[in-house]
Amino acid sequence: MSFRVTVERNTLRFAAAHFTTFRGECEPLHGHNYDVFVEVRGDLTADSWVIDFSELKQAAAAVCKRLDHKFLLQQQSRELAVTAAADSYEVAFGDLRYVIPARDVVALPIDNSTAERLAEWFARTLAGDLSSRGADNLREITVGIEEAPGQAGWFTLALPASA
């Protein structure tokens, strides 16, 4: 039997800048006011809940805070040349060059800063955070990252059953 809880929007949002690459092109630097959706599936605890809503919202909001008002840098891009210095990142695509202060960057281990890859990174990060809080009854986390109303990327992470 599977139970699920969801939390979304309101305090689960962040504003960030990025650009993606697509079919050998690089879109212009721009930003979004992202909304986040989280669904957690799992077994009921002894108290008959999957997870306390406030605990889930706190954990998800903490991940949002890490991204808020930052440039989202795809470190594993196949199209961008990324060079890290002590206090900045240089990002190059052909003749385009951006130098961004390191304090304004969240360097993510993803290949493109699409909504789908952001959802994947968010789900994996949230899963680790929840696991460290002792949430060992969870079986699946789904995250949606909405860039604009009506357009979101989703990722579902299956979690290993605890021993």
- Residue 83 in any domain: the answer is no
- Residue 140 in any domain: the answer is yes
pLDDT above 90 covers a percentage of the chain that reads: 94
- Residue 94 in any domain: the answer is no
User: Looking at residues 125-143, what average pLDDT do you find?
Assistant: 95
User: Looking at residues 98-116, what average pLDDT do you find?
Assistant: 98
User: Looking at residues 30-44, what average pLDDT do you find?
Assistant: 97
- Residue 90 in any domain: the answer is no
User: Looking at residues 115-143, what average pLDDT do you find?
Assistant: 96
Q: Predicted confidence band at 163 (pLDDT cuts at 50, 70, 90)? A: very low
Q: What rounded mean pLDDT belongs to the chain?
A: 95
- Residue 149 in any domain: the answer is yes
The pTM of this model reads 0.95
- Residue 131 in any domain: the answer is yes
What's the total number of domains in the chain?
1
pLDDT, position 91: 97
CB 144 within 8 A of CB 56: no
User: Looking at residues 108-136, what average pLDDT do you find?
Assistant: 96
pLDDT in tens, 42-85: 999 999 999 999 999 999 999 999 999 999 999 999 999 999 99
Q: Predicted confidence band at 162 (pLDDT cuts at 50, 70, 90)? A: low
Task: State the DSSP string of 52-111.
Answer: -HHHHHHHHHHHHHHHTTEEEEETT-SS-EEEE-SSEEEEEETTEEEEEEGGGEEEESSS
pLDDT above 70 covers a percentage of the chain that reads: 98
Please report, for the domain that includes residue 45, its CATH number: 3.30.479.10
pLDDT, position 32: 98
pLDDT in tens, 10-30: 889 999 999 999 999 999 999
Q: Classify each residue of 139-149 as buried b or exposed e, where b means 16 or more C-beta atoms within 10 Å of its C-beta.
A: bbbbbbbbbee
- Residue 101 in any domain: the answer is no
- Residue 103 in any domain: the answer is no
Find the domain containing 65 and state its range: 3-22+29-76+109-158
